[in-house]
Amino acid sequence: MTQDTARPITLLICALGGEGGGVLAEWLVETATRSGYSAQSTSIPGVAQRTGSTTYYFEVFPVPVAELGGRKPVFSLYPVPGALDVLVSSELLETVRHIGNGMTSANRTFVVTSSSRTLTTAEKLQLADGRASSGELLKVVRQYSQSARIFDMSAVAQETGTVLSAVLFGAIAGSGILPFSRTAYEQTIRQSGRGVEPSLRGFTRAIEIVAQGLATQRPASSFAPTNVAPTLAAALPADLAGAFPPPTHAMLGAGHARLLEYQDSDYAGLYAQRMKRVLEAERTGDPSGEQGFATTSETARYLALWMAFDDIVRVADLKCRASRFARVRQEVKAADEELVRIYDHFKPGVPELAALLPRTWARALVGWDRRRQQSGKTALALPLKIGVHTLSGFLALRFLASLKWLRRHGSRFAQEQAMIERWLAAVEQGARNQWQLGHEIALCGRLVKGYGSTNDRGKDNLLHVLDHLAMGGQWNGPQARAEAIRAARVAALADDAGKELDKTLVRHGAAPLPVKAQTILWVKKRRSTSA
C-alpha cells in the first residue's frame, strides 16, 4: 500500500456513559501519535452522564507521517454508513442499534462486541419480560459483519479488577487492524498514571481472547447465571428437601432463604406449609410428574416474591446494610482513605404509615387522608432526607429496620396474606382438576409486582381473573378455562392501562374491570395583581 492508494482506517467506538469511552479515544490518538501516524478522533456524547449512549469516531492514516513527505491526510468528522473497518462496542444492544443504522458492512467491518447487556428504559418499563433476546441480537451481529468477536467484556473487567475502557483497548489491539505495536499500546496505558497494573491485566486478557479467537458466540449470562441453581438447592433445609422433588429444590431454596431473611423462621415455615399444599394438589392432577412439577416451582417463585412485599421496614433494612455501603464505594471507585457521603430521600405517605398499624387504626387514618384529598388537598406525605453515612441517619434506618416484628400486626400484612390465600386456593383447585389449569393460575402470580399504584393495579387484575375466569363462569372443560386465563394474563402484562385486559375479559364472557373513582384536584387561578 502506497501513500497515494492508502485510505484512513475507520473505527467506531460504541459505549455507555461512565464506561470511559472518552478515555479510550484519547488512548488511541496518543498511541497513533507515539507510533508516528496521523490520527483524529471525534465524539458524540450521550444525553445522560451515565448509561447514556456515546460514540467516538477514530481515523488513522496507515502510512507513517515520516513517509508522507510533508503531505497531510484528510480525515472525516463522522462515520460513513457501510464504510467502517472496525466497530467496537461495550454493550450488545448498542452494537445492534448501530448495525441497524447501517454502520457496518458484511464484507468489510470487523465487529468486536461485548455479550453483556444493560437494560434500556423501554425494557424496564414493560410489565412482562421486556428484555430483548440476546440470541436474536447475536444473529444480527454475525449477519452484518465480515467477522465478529463476541465475549463478556464486563466479566473480563471484573475478573481483572480494571475498568471497561482497558478491556476495549485490548480488544482493539487484538483485532490487529490498526498499525500499532503492542508495546505502543502498553506504553499509553503506563503513561496514563492511574490503575496501570489492573488496566494492563484487562488489556492483556482482551488481546488473548480476540487474537486467539476464544471469543464466545453465546449470550452473556448476566441475567440468568447458570451456577446459582446448585447453590440455591443446597440452601434448602434437609427436611424440606426430602419432602419435595429435586426439580423444585432450587426455587424452593431461594424462596425459603428470602423469607427467612425477610421476616423469621416462622414466616419461612408458613411458606413451606403453603408449598406442601400446592405440591399435593399438583400430584393429584399429575401423579406421574410428567410436567416436572412446574406448577410447584412457579408457585414457589411468585409466592416468595409476594410474601416478601416491600414496605418501609424492608426499604430501611436494605438501605443500611454493609453490602450496600461496599457496593456504593465500588461504584464511585472510592479509595480506602476517601470518605463517601450517602443521602437517601424518602417520602412516606399515609398508606405506608398505616401499613404497620392495626386494621382499625389504619382504616381510620386512610379514611381521614382520603377525605382530605376529596376536599381538594394533596395526599399527605413526609419528605425526608437522611444522611446514611452519619450516626443519626444510620441509627434512624436501623430503628425502622428493627420494626419487622411489628409487620405481623399491621393492616397490610393481614391484607396481603388474605389475598395470597385466595390465589393459592385457586391454584390448588385448578391443579387438582387439570395440570395446565393450575399452572396457568400459578403463573398469574406474576401480575403482582412493583409498589404503590402498580402493585395495587396488579392485585386488582389478579383478583378479577380469579373471580371471573379461574373460579367463576361456565366453560367447556378446564382446557378452555386455562386458555382464557393465559390470554388474560398476557393482556394484563401487555398494557398497564387495562384496555387489552378488558377486551380479553369481554371476549371470554367475563365482566370488564370496574372503573375506580379518582380524586380530581382543582387548581384555582390566581388573580392578577397588576393594574
Q: pLDDT in tens for each of the 531 residues of the chain?
A: 556 567 899 999 888 877 777 888 899 999 999 999 999 998 877 654 556 778 889 999 989 988 888 888 888 888 888 889 999 988 888 889 889 888 898 889 999 888 888 877 777 777 677 778 888 888 899 899 988 888 888 889 888 888 888 999 999 998 888 999 999 999 999 988 778 899 999 999 999 888 776 444 444 444 444 455 666 677 788 888 899 999 999 999 999 999 999 999 999 999 999 999 999 999 999 998 889 999 999 999 999 999 999 999 999 999 999 999 999 988 887 888 889 999 999 888 898 889 999 999 999 999 998 888 888 788 888 888 999 999 999 999 999 999 999 999 999 999 999 999 999 999 999 999 999 999 999 999 999 988 888 888 889 999 999 988 888 777 788 888 899 999 999 888 887 777 888 888 888 888 888 887 776 666 667 776 665
d(CA 154, CA 132): 18
261: three-class secondary structure by DSSP: helix
Which pLDDT value is given to residue 522? 66
d(CA 317, CA 399): 9
Contacts of residue 433, defined as CB under 8 A and 6 or more positions apart, other chains included, come to: 285, 478
Q: 240-253: b or e for each residue (b if 16 or more CB lie within 10 Å)?
A: bbeebbebbbbbbb
Of 527, 312, 331, which Cα lies nearest the Cα of 413?
312
Phi/psi class of residue 112: alpha, beta or left (left: φ > 0; alpha: ψ in -120 to 50)? Answer: beta
Do the beta carbons of residue 23 and residue 202 sit within 8 Å? no
Which pLDDT value is given to residue 217? 41
Which pLDDT value is given to residue 453? 81
Which pLDDT value is given to residue 275? 96
Which pLDDT value is given to residue 382? 85
Which pLDDT value is given to residue 51? 60
Which pLDDT value is given to residue 529? 64
Strands 110-114 and 86-89: parallel
d(CA 123, CA 118): 10
Which pLDDT value is given to residue 232? 66
Which pLDDT value is given to residue 248? 92
First to last CA, the chain: 80
The length of the chain in residues reads 531
Sheet holding 53-60, edge to edge: 39-44, 53-60, 9-16, 86-89, 110-114, 147-151
Residue with cell 381473573: 465
Instruction: Please give the domain boundaries of the chain with CATH numbers for all domains.
Output: 9-211 (3.40.920.10), 225-273+288-299 (no CATH), 435-531 (no CATH)
